Chain A
Amino acid sequence: MTSQTEQERREAGQGVAAAAIDLRGVEKTFYSKAETFSAVRSLDLAIQDGEFFSLLGPSGCGKTTTLRMIAGFEEPTAGEILLHGQNMVGVPPYKRDVNTVFQSYALFPHMTVAENVSFGLERKRVDKQEIRQRVGEMLEIVGLGERGDRRPQQLSGGQQQRVALARALVNRPRALLLDEPLAALDLKLRQAMQVELKRIQREVGITFVFVTHDQGEALTMSDRLVVMNGGLLEQVGTPHELYERPATRFVAGFLGTSNIMEGKVTGVDRGIAVIDAGADGRVLVPTDRSAVGDRIAVSVRPEKIVLSRDEPAADDERCAVTGTVAEMVYLGTSNTYEVRLNGGEMLTVLEQNHSTSESTAQRGDTVWLTWRPQHSLQLVDEPAAATEGGAADDAG
């Protein structure tokens, strides 16, 4: 299941699949009288068996359309969707071995909780005795063992959510598709359900494909995730990879906070480029594709920057810029500084409160910001370039 074997398989064109879900060149265009809308554009994605995989992006990025194509509610305009090696295009949803947890739950209001949960097994003509047993077990797993004879509308939002989960999981699908299942819950319940979902996924060992627009949710829950924007894949990887090494400007901005600086490359030495970002000081970034004269964008996370009132030594190899503190916010465990560089750009710096003494600087103070060159990340604007570089690869 390494990227190598998958590549081999692709080259050999074999039907045996390593991936649970494999999207190849999937496109979806919606046509209406007034306009055509490309919801998903040439998407390549391989989701591994047993993975908790998230589709993350702002609304309209194509994540829900992608999920609906895997479920079979939408047919792709082009491309293939393989489920354990079998092409699913043209196969109706009721013949696909995947189940969906809907955003609004879509529980059947005229049935009891137990009837809802047994619906799929009854359609599959599973033995009555076995249905009763599996429904009972599943209701226990989601903590609703006592509520089998209630109606969905008699339950709270969180309980309805669990019924929806049980109704899908009881069928033991090859993959569970979840369409923003936590969006309707309040914060506390949502956090509890995040932990709960992870526990259930570990327990049942089924591939989870999870659609969300909440980056925190995606980062904490996923084994791997994809960030989508405007129907295009921006980057695929583990939460750590995507947060620490965002490839595109969009990913850097969408996951957490990023300081983005732009400038011309004035020199390249042993794979490290020197950038003229219009600020006093020096900005360095590791690069493998830029030459002197190129205009590039660089991202630095606020927590990677060290703020100091002293100018670093001349032989210091770190990046260093100087500016004035425009705003300082005390957050208890940390301080956030907004520093205006002499070129006019604003950088955000996060400083942990290690000591009980006063913060390092106050508003109006002149400060120096330093960070290690490897914390500078070169970004690209076009996700297409990112796809070539990292997205097509599997998780490292």
Chain B
Amino acid sequence: MSRVHADDASRLAAGGFRRRFGRLTGYWLALPGGLWLAIFFVVPMIYLLSLSLMTGDFIHGFTQTFHFATYGHTISLYHDQFIRSIMYAVIVTVLTIVLAYPMAYWIAMRGGRNKSSYLLIILLPFFVSFVIRTLQWQFILADNGFVLGTLKNLHLVGSGFHLLATPVAVICGLTYNYLPFMVLPLYVSIERLDSRLMEAANDLYASKFQALLRVVFPLTVPGIFAGVLMTFVPVASDFVNAQLLGGAKTTMIGNVIYTLYLTNNDYAGASALSFTLMGVLLIGIFVYARALGTKDVMEAAAL
């Protein structure tokens, strides 16, 4: 009898251990990524935050003085670039939605067995360096490049017409570079829609367009939200497109931070601007999520 009890006890203990370990499994799985983020994201962030409040210069060194005035100072100096960046980001995000939605819809609905091939084609430019891709746009949009050169030869545009160094060029480059980030989440959310819902809408007297507007679009809002998150934020802080395709009047906040940090060695100013940008973006995204009622929509789409 006692033997049996002992066995039971050890089995129970083993089960208890397994249960306890099992409950922790999720944490163990998250540990490597968590550590990575802690070391390479949280630590630098704290360091940058502290740096943004320091005073001093490159030669005499920086000392922590909790100098909050740097924030106000940099914003008053660079608010033009700041507002321009946000505007560009809004325009580019809207453009990518307009371009990506029909594309994602077509691939998800009509792609058939070639869906993954089409997705690969969209991702193919990513196999080329970001900088090289943008430089190609510089070549395409050049004053006497093959697009404008041809148009000028045909006298469709004046000889003084140019695109490079204009907002159009920067917005085109940004839209091109970030389009796939919008296509992919949209594709995922459209692809998992139950096709019977569209049939049900058609059955209930909704034309194809009505079904798209009333059923498909509302149910893919989570996909749009993810796409906006993945384009709006990086576009707002992008500096490569403005640098390669833009001019003095298209400078974005990313370029300012880049120059302040790497050319002027104004570490405090660059850090302060970075944090201001982050704060503005976070607030913007939260307001957007609230406006969409994302929680509700996510729930609906999870079904």
A, B bound: yes
What is the minimal beta-carbon distance from A344 to any residue of chain B, in angstroms? 50
Contact A106 B204 (CB under 8 A): no
The one of A94, A107, A124, A151 in contact with B203, judged by C-beta atoms closer than 8 angstroms, is A94
B8 interfacial by beta-carbon distance below 8 Å: no
Residue with the highest number of chain B CB atoms closer than 10 Å, among A98, A102, A124: A102
Decide: A153 and B303 in contact? CB cutoff 8 A.
Answer: yes
Chain A 112-125: CB-based contact to B (< 8 A → 1; otherwise 0): 00000001100110
Contact with B along A146-162 (1 / 0, CB 8 A): 00000101000000000
CB of B202 within 8 A of CB of A93, answer yes
Q: 11 other contacts beyond A93-B202, A100-B200, A108-B215, with CB at 8 A cut-off?
A: A71-B203, A94-B207, A104-B194, A106-B197, A106-B199, A108-B201, A110-B215, A119-B204, A151-B300, A167-B204, A168-B204
- Is there contact, CB below 8 Å, between B200 and A102? yes
Instruction: Give B contacts to A, CB under 8 Å.
Output: 194, 196-197, 199-207, 210, 214-215, 218-219, 297, 299-301, 303
Bound-state CA distance A110–B300 (Å) is: 6
Contact between A124 and B219 (Cβ–Cβ < 8 Å)?
no
Cβ A110 vs Cβ B206 within 8 A: no
Report which A residues bind B (CB closer than 8 A): 71-73, 92-95, 98-100, 102, 104, 106-110, 119-120, 123-124, 151, 153, 167-168, 171
Question: Once bound together, how far apart are the Cα atoms of A93 and B205, in whole Å?
Answer: 7
Cβ-closest chain B residue relative to A95 = B205
Contacting pair B219 A110 (CB below 8 A): yes
| B-chain residues with CB within 8 Å of residue A104 when the two chains form the complex | 194, 196
Cα distance, A221 to B206, chains bound together (Å): 31
- For A73, the chain B residues whose CB sits under 8 A away are 199, 202-203
Contact A93 B199, beta carbon cutoff 8 Å: yes
* B73, chain A: closest CB distance, angstroms: 47
Q: Which chain B residues border A93 with CB–CB below 8 Å?
A: 199, 202-203
- Contact B218 A110, beta carbon cutoff 8 Å: yes
Are B297 and A106 neighbours in the complex by a CB distance under 8 Å?
A: no
Selected contact of B297 from candidates A72, A95, A102, A110, CB within 8 Å: A110
Nearest-Cβ distance from residue B62 to partner chain A, whole angstroms? 53
- Inter-chain contact A120/B199, CB cutoff 8 Å: no
CB-CB under 8 A from A94, the residues of chain B are 202-207, 210
Q: Is the Cβ of B300 less than 8 Å from the Cβ of A106?
A: no
B294–chain A nearest beta-carbon distance, Å: 12
Nearest to B219 among chain A residues (CB) is A110
Report chain B residues within 8 Å CB of A171. Answer: 204-205
In the bound complex, residues from chain B placing their C-beta under 8 Å from that of A107 are: 200
A109 in contact with B204 given A73-B199, A93-B199, A123-B210 (CB within 8 Å): no
Q: Evaluate contact between A109 and B206: CB separation under 8 angstroms.
A: no
- Contact check, A108 vs B200: say whether CB atoms are below 8 A apart: yes
Within 8 Å CB of B205, what residues of A? 94-95, 120, 123-124, 171
How far is A123 from B204 in the complex, measured between Cα atoms in Å? 7
Contact yes or no, B194 A119, CB < 8 A: no
A119 touches B219 (CB 8 A): no
Chain A residues with Cβ under 8 A from B219's Cβ? 109-110
Return chain A residues, CB-CB under 8 Å to B300.
Answer: 109-110, 151, 153
Instruction: Name B297's closest neighbour in chain A (CB-CB).
Output: A110
> Which residues of A lie under 8 Å from residue B194 when comparing CB positions?
104, 106
Bound form: Cα–Cα A110–B218 in Å = 7
23 A-B interface contacts by CB (under 8 A): A73-B199, A93-B202, A94-B202, A94-B205, A94-B206, A94-B210, A95-B205, A100-B203, A102-B196, A102-B199, A102-B200, A104-B194, A107-B200, A109-B300, A109-B303, A110-B215, A119-B214, A120-B205, A123-B206, A167-B204, A168-B203, A168-B204, A171-B205
Docked complex Cα distance between A212 and B299 (Å): 32
- A120 CA / B214 CA spacing, docked (Å): 12
Across-interface contacts of B206 in A (CB, < 8 A): 94, 119, 123
Q: How far is the CB of A138 from chain B (nearest CB, A)?
A: 13
Chain B residues, Cβ within 8 Å of A110: 215, 218-219, 297, 300
Residues on A with C-beta less than 8 A from B199 are 73, 93, 100, 102, 106
Interchain CA distance A94-B301 in the complex, whole Å: 25
Q: Chain B's nearest CB lies how many Å from the CB of A315?
A: 64
Chain A minimum-CB-distance residue to B198: A106
CB contacts (< 8 Å) of B299 on chain A: these are 153
- C-alpha gap A94/B214 in the complex (Å): 14
Nearest residue in A to B197 (C-beta to C-beta)?
A: A106
Name A71's closest neighbour in chain B (CB-CB): B203
Complex Cα distance, B196 from A390, in Å, reads: 36
